[in-house]
Chains A and B, each alone.
Chain A
């Protein structure tokens, strides 16, 4: 039980740190952050809307209180899920805007990452099973080579070839002008067509980490004593590979999955920008270029919390899968 308690305390700690980091980032600049933001907005356009100033105040707390009062006020607002009003999408609240964008990213990232994990783990297992053969070198060298391609560039090339030149898929957006979001067949098929290219862009490089990780772990676990014993007992090769090699090798990939999520979300920002896909990444970039600071801060916080929750769940799962972890931590 000590293992799970420890992971829970760590989760709460990182959650608090992420919320505090989000509070501190706008205050890294010299002077009153609200004033600095207002004056920068004034420099951008002729007049500053009072609603904008109000939105900034809501995000940053009252400037007359000391830092601690501001912090307490901010924590209260975060606990109530109150992130203020987005001033580019006035009168919608920040929470509403995030609610609109979140499903797009969750579905795109969720589906592509599960496929990547399964495909990567299978290919890695195959490479390790046939290690030092031609299959192994094709898989490892191929994925090393693909891994060197910057994938926002791959995404651009996909748009160029399959959307603009061949017209196989729509070029940008999450759904066409003819349909509106809802549970209609028209919308779902339309959204699917729009998501094919972004998904392919994420799937080309997605499995690479799992392939290399799985192969290396499994080559190692196949060299361990218990595997040698299984060989000596004359068990079939395939059974040794799957129940003695792969079963142990897959464990580090489970936690790796959660840690990689942060990087994957970064990549999603790039891919969503290339395809103008209506998810969190594009919303983040839009909020940056329109200087919608409340929206930007909230997206950063949501993304970080998402990764933290995923890590916590992976830690819990790891504890169930690998009894050694529980023993070491409680000893």
Chain B
């Protein structure tokens, strides 16, 4: 038995040692290849096969005499794979793509601070990138990821339904709510048509933001307990009672709500701007040619126009456990693919550009008619989830209580006070000052 305990203790010690084995000092020499872990989309927009633009991968390889080895990863469990890879003493990838929702301090900690590189060899016109995104990717004043692909949420709407009820594009959240209620009806074939698609894991947060509230602010301070939030929840509850949102909203995913929308069963929905293509593609959509878009409006009490919206963002960064001799080349890679010209080229290949200047390009506007709406929303766009440790748990708790309040299984006050209790204890455990 003693021996067994000893063995167990020895094994417990092995794990940290494996993690912490010293990184071998490799003399700096030019690498032969660059391993890039990305999502499947990121590769396809660089090589020009999809829409016939330039082949940037080939261009980069020629320019720097290095081979790029794209390793496209499926979205499902991508974070797990990256998390596990970061525990290895010398990781395989030289560049890793990350979505902004992952960017908690604990995650950013594992990536190289790019500021020394930026000082030595600056990336042009950093002001093109959305400020919300840059802030989310910054830890202790140092940028860890450079935005590569981004979308802001727009309100996509079914023009036929709007015309049928003589409605205009809503300019405030309150108008949007009224329009949603008016549009809700039962179709001749028995199908129920809802005014607003409501994705349980997202839309409540987006509406709370449109009213000027939030769950925690960017410093991790708890702010859910506010009059704005109360107004927003009351607004959603009202829509729920009126039947203007699908009653199964808690299990409705983004993909589900698009399925409803293309069947003509949804009047309005909040989705990334680039879904415009799918929604108007006659092989994929029953409402092709009738799906219009507008900015997501704020509450009438807010003077700004449009409202605060969700920003979806992918960035490229260099893991700390990458081979040392590839770091410089990895930085060149990031710089190359996030430059103004190449962001435009990739946008023409079907990427959603991370630089605002691309949205003003005429060639791009021809491809993406929503560019202007996206551009006007982008100053008010920031990630749905602030970069705070423990945030996934906080958001889960908040959404759970908010949906209880919407369905009326708790009063708004009770739900908010329960949410406060849970969330404050999580934030306390993570050591975030309130």
Bound together = no
Give the A-binding residues of B (Cβ under 8 A).
Answer: none
Binding site for B on A (CB under 8 A): none
